[in-house]
Chain A
Amino acid sequence: MTLSDDLFRQGQIAFQGRLIADATHEIQNHFAVIKEYSGLIGDLLQAKQRVISRVNKRCAEITRSISERADRAAEMVDALNGFAHRGDAPISRFRVSRVTGELAMLLQRHAALRRVSLSMAAGDDEATVTNDASILHYLLFSLITPVLDAMEENGSVILGVSIEKGGTVMINIVAEGGKSGSPEQGLMADEIITMCMEKLAARISINAKSADLVQILLNIPSIAVA
Chain B
Amino acid sequence: MSFNYSQSLRLMSDERKEDGESFFYQKKVRMGLMMKKKDKIKVLLVDDEEEFVKTLSERLQMRDVDSETAFDGEQAIELVSEKQPDVIVLDLKMPGLHGLDVLRWIKNFHPEVQVIIMTGHGTEHDEEKARELGAFDYLKKPVETDSLVQKIKVAYKAHFEDAMSAVAFAESGEFDTAKEIMRGEGPGGNDSESSEQNKDKENKN
Contact = CB atoms under 8 A, between A and B. Distances in A.
- Please indicate whether A and B come from the same complex rather than being unrelated chains: yes
Interface of A: 21, 25, 28-29, 31-33, 35-37, 39-40, 43, 47, 65, 69, 112-115
Interface string B111-149: 000000000110000000000000000000110010000
Given A28-B120, A29-B120, A36 B59 contact: yes
A115 B142 CA distance: 24
Interface stretch (B19-27, B44-52, B81-89): B44-52
Interface string B27-62: 000000000000000000000110110011011001
Chain A: interface secondary structure? helix
B120 A37 contact: no
10 contacts: A29-B49, A29-B52, A36-B52, A37-B55, A39-B59, A40-B55, A69-B51, A112-B95, A115-B95, A115-B96
B62 A36 contact: no
5 residue pairs, one from A and one from B, having the closest CB atoms: A36-B55, A28-B120, A25-B121, A33-B52, A29-B49
B62 A43 contact: yes
Contact of A113 (B52, B56, B95): B95
Contacts of B120: 25, 28-29, 32
Interface of B: 48-49, 51-52, 55-56, 58-59, 62, 93-96, 120-121, 141-142, 145
Contacts of A33: 49, 51-52, 55
A39 B62 CA distance: 12
B75 to A, nearest CB: 13
A113 B62 contact: no
Contact of B142 (A32, A37, A114): A32
Given A29-B120, A35-B142, A112-B95, 4 more contacts: A28-B142, A33-B51, A40-B55, A112-B48
B98 to A, nearest CB: 10
A32 B139 CA distance: 13
A29 B49 CA distance: 7
Nearest to B120: A28
A25 B93 contact: yes
Contacts of A32: 49, 52, 120, 141-142
A4 B205 CA distance: 49
A200 B62 CA distance: 57
Nearest to B123: A21
A112 B94 CA distance: 9
Nearest to B51: A33
B95 A40 contact: no
Contacts of A114: 95
B95 A28 contact: no
Nearest to A153: B95
Contacts of B58: 40
A66 to B, nearest CB: 10
Given A29-B120, A33-B55, A35-B142, A113 B93 contact: yes
Contacts of B94: 113
A23 B141 CA distance: 15
Contacts of B56: 36
A114 B98 CA distance: 12
B62 A47 contact: yes
Contacts of A21: 121
Nearest to B146: A39
B145 A28 contact: no
Contact of B141 (A28, A47, A65, A113): A28
